[in-house]
Chains A and B, each alone.
Chain A
Amino acid sequence: MALLQIDNLRVRFGAFPAVDGVDLHVNAGEVLGIVGESGSGKSVSMMGLMGLIGAPGVVTADRCEFLGHELLKLSERERRRVVGRDVAMVFQDALTALNPSYTVGFQIEEVLKLHLGLKGRAARERAVALLEQVEIPDAARRLQAYPHELSGGMNQRVMIAMAIACGPKLLIADEPTTALDVTIQAQIVDLLLRLQREQGMALIMITHDLALVAGLAQRVAVMYAGQVVETGPVPALFDAPQHPYTQALLAALPEHNQGARRLQALPGIVPGAHDRPAGCLLSPRCPKVQPRCHAERPALVQGVRCFFPS
């Protein structure tokens, strides 16, 4: 049975569907990559799942089960207990994701106290151990530091230490490397993968970096305009993409454009609130568009949301 099973997740802000019927599942100990361009609903779907969408957003789903709990039906109190302990999140910008008013040590110990009941010496020792686990040198001294005294990479490590503090079963990393430079990115990704393997937790990696996903995920879901357009196991999906959008994404990579003067790009932008097409959401931009694409919306069949997969 899957650790997390989502059927037909929808998040709407007024009339605008930011997430439009997403089906996903994650098995225990698996790494799932979610890729897509800005505004495709990657982050919003995860926020909706975690109950972090407030008014005016509305979240609905046919099923949204984590470890047998129906997440959307839990009371606020129950969700805090379940979600806070077994699901953790790592955010894009670690500097704003840590509270600037408290030391790093205080913030880690707070999580330990809340969910594991550790206090005083025990909490302190565990916090040092966690910082060592995320490869922060001189961990005991770093506990006294405030977030603004640490670099971006260090802050992201602290964030990861806080996320794994309670031994979560699922870690959601929302573009964890976007705010970091390339060498640090590689270190953070290696760290996340090592921790995922050591702790046997499932990892959802939200990113728009295809190379990153290709290197670490077992399965990938490609999102476009609030829908999953293609999903499948990793080498296969990248070797033989079937959906025109996935093909276009891969064709835009510099590796596929050697010798060319310009990168191949998909013309146009993601449809917004007022220009959502009646048919397939990609139809205004799709290079292989047919008359049927303008009239009807395709469903996700065998991992591809296209009438004419290739």
Chain B
Amino acid sequence: MNSPFQEFWQGFKANRGAFIALLVFAALVLAAVFAPWLAPYDPIQQHRAHLLAPPVWMDGGSWQFVFGTDELGRDLLSRLLHGGRASLGLGLAAVVLSLVPGVLLGLLAAFYARSLGPVVMRVMDILLALPSLLLAICVITVLGPGLVNTVLAIAIGALPGFVRLTRAAALTELPKEYVTASRVAGAGTLRLMLVTVLPNCMAPLIVNASLGFSSAILAAAGLGFLGLGVQAPLPEWGTMLSSARDYIQRASWVVTLPGLTILTAVLSINLMGDGLRDALDPKLKRVH
């Protein structure tokens, strides 16, 4: 007898793209976690003798700065490694901060479909009516730029998706007989919500959370590029991209490397999310 997790893992492993993406993503996470030990230099230390030094594989590059240096002589490799902590941490925090309240609001909206539900859903519709970047800019204008406020801005933008998904999934589960059976057996509303119904709504939520993670990183990079996200000198991929854009013709690597890093992270997370969806969605499950 297979547990659901084993079954899921079998399905996930069969998808080669998703599996490789998982490995790449794991490498990125490990690199970010161990950045202080892996990075050859302090990410904000300026090497004044080596401004815009090219990476090792280009003419004039040296092993001293493997990925070259930026306009202030800071080692790019160290900044990318440390930037991963900010970018990935920010993405994770934004997902958690939109997932948890989103799931609770969605469950409330489904269980109190006549009283609380319409109110919650109309507020979510209002949030959805604004483009997410605009919404994030509004929030940051009110709260001020910075790491924590960036997370909040992105989380608020991602909230309606989770609320709507949870509500829709819960509404399809609610009329099923096991919920009625649970009521007959004496389960209270809180128990029905969190123990009976929620686990059966998890599949779409897990997929959305993984995809939301990548869009949060992208949104953070976008805000950083606009100068509204993480502030210098703290390394963050989007901020690095933004400060380097003046040198795009003279020193392509200061733009290309952060850009490629963002691409790799977002692509691997998206592929992983696709794999998760294929493995978790029974309608797409192949017959073994």
- Assess the A144–B1 pair: CB atoms within 8 A: yes
Contact digits for B194-215, partner A, Cβ 8 Å, 1 yes 0 no = 0010011010000000000000
Q: Please, how many angstroms separate the alpha-carbon atoms of A55 and B202 in the complex? A: 27
Check A83/B181 contact, CB under 8 A, given A99-B200, A101-B199: no
Contact digits for B169-205, partner A, Cβ 8 Å, 1 yes 0 no = 0000000111011111111100000001001101000
Contact digits for A98-109, partner B, Cβ 8 Å, 1 yes 0 no = 111110000000
B286 at the interface (CB under 8 A from A): no
Task: Give every chain A residue within 8 A of B188 (Cβ-Cβ).
Answer: 77, 80
A263 at the interface (CB under 8 A from B): no
How many chain A residues touch B (CB < 8 A): the figure is 33
- Assess the B185–A101 pair: CB atoms within 8 A: no
Contact of A96 among B177, B185, B199 (CB under 8 A): B177
Task: Give every chain B residue within 8 A of A91 (Cβ-Cβ).
Answer: 177, 180-181
B4 at the interface (CB under 8 A from A): yes
- Assess the A92–B177 pair: CB atoms within 8 A: yes
Task: Give every chain B residue within 8 A of A149 (Cβ-Cβ).
Answer: 1
A146 at the interface (CB under 8 A from B): yes
Task: Give every chain B residue within 8 A of A30 (Cβ-Cβ).
Answer: none
- Assess the B1–A89 pair: CB atoms within 8 A: no
CB distance from B4 to the nearest CB of A (A): 7
A93 at the interface (CB under 8 A from B): yes
A88 at the interface (CB under 8 A from B): yes
B283 at the interface (CB under 8 A from A): no
Task: Give every chain A residue within 8 A of B176 (Cβ-Cβ).
Answer: 96-97
Nearest A residue (CB) for B183: A52
A299 at the interface (CB under 8 A from B): no
Task: Give every chain B residue within 8 A of A47 (Cβ-Cβ).
Answer: 180
B114 at the interface (CB under 8 A from A): yes
- Assess the B184–A84 pair: CB atoms within 8 A: yes
CB distance from B182 to the nearest CB of A (A): 7
Check A111/B185 contact, CB under 8 A, given A91-B177, A93-B177: yes
Task: Give every chain A residue within 8 A of B180 (Cβ-Cβ).
Answer: 47, 52, 89, 91, 97
Task: Give every chain A residue within 8 A of B114 (Cβ-Cβ).
Answer: 55
- Assess the B186–A115 pair: CB atoms within 8 A: yes
From DSSP, what is the main secondary structure of chain B's interface residues? helix
CB distance from B201 to the nearest CB of A (A): 10
Nearest B residue (CB) for A50: B184
Task: Give every chain A residue within 8 A of B178 (Cβ-Cβ).
Answer: 96-100
Q: Which parts of A55-102 form the interface with B (CB within 8 Å)? A: 55, 77, 80-81, 83-85, 87-89, 91-93, 96-102
Nearest A residue (CB) for B199: A101
Check A87/B184 contact, CB under 8 A, given A96-B177, A144-B1, A149-B1: yes
- Assess the A83–B184 pair: CB atoms within 8 A: yes
- Assess the A101–B200 pair: CB atoms within 8 A: yes
Q: Please, how many angstroms separate the alpha-carbon atoms of A92 and B183 in the complex? A: 16
Contact of B185 among A55, A102, A114 (CB under 8 A): A114
- Assess the A52–B181 pair: CB atoms within 8 A: no
A145 at the interface (CB under 8 A from B): yes
Task: Give every chain A residue within 8 A of B182 (Cβ-Cβ).
Answer: 99
Contact digits for B1-14, partner A, Cβ 8 Å, 1 yes 0 no = 10010000000000
- Assess the B184–A88 pair: CB atoms within 8 A: yes
Check A52/B177 contact, CB under 8 A, given A100-B200, A101-B200: no
- Assess the A145–B1 pair: CB atoms within 8 A: yes
Q: Please, how many angstroms separate the alpha-carbon atoms of A92 and B181 in the complex? A: 11
Contact digits for B55-80, partner A, Cβ 8 Å, 1 yes 0 no = 00000000000000000000000000
- Assess the A114–B200 pair: CB atoms within 8 A: no
- Assess the A85–B186 pair: CB atoms within 8 A: yes
Task: Give every chain B residue within 8 A of A92 (Cβ-Cβ).
Answer: 177
Q: Please, how many angstroms separate the alpha-carbon atoms of A8 and B284 in the complex? A: 50
Task: Give every chain B residue within 8 A of A100 (Cβ-Cβ).
Answer: 178, 200
Contact of A84 among B4, B177, B186, B200 (CB under 8 A): B186
Q: Please, how many angstroms separate the alpha-carbon atoms of A93 and B183 in the complex? A: 16
Contact of B177 among A97, A101, A102, A110 (CB under 8 A): A97
CB distance from B206 to the nearest CB of A (A): 13
Can you name 10 A-B residue pairings with CB atoms under 8 Å? A52-B180, A77-B188, A83-B184, A91-B180, A96-B177, A97-B177, A100-B200, A144-B1, A145-B1, A162-B181
Instruction: Please name 19 further chain A to chain B contacts, defined as beta carbons within 8 Å, in addition to the given A83-B184, A93-B177, A96-B176, sorted by A numbering.
Output: A47-B180, A50-B184, A52-B180, A52-B183, A55-B114, A80-B186, A80-B187, A83-B186, A87-B184, A92-B177, A97-B177, A97-B180, A99-B182, A99-B196, A101-B200, A101-B202, A102-B199, A111-B185, A162-B185
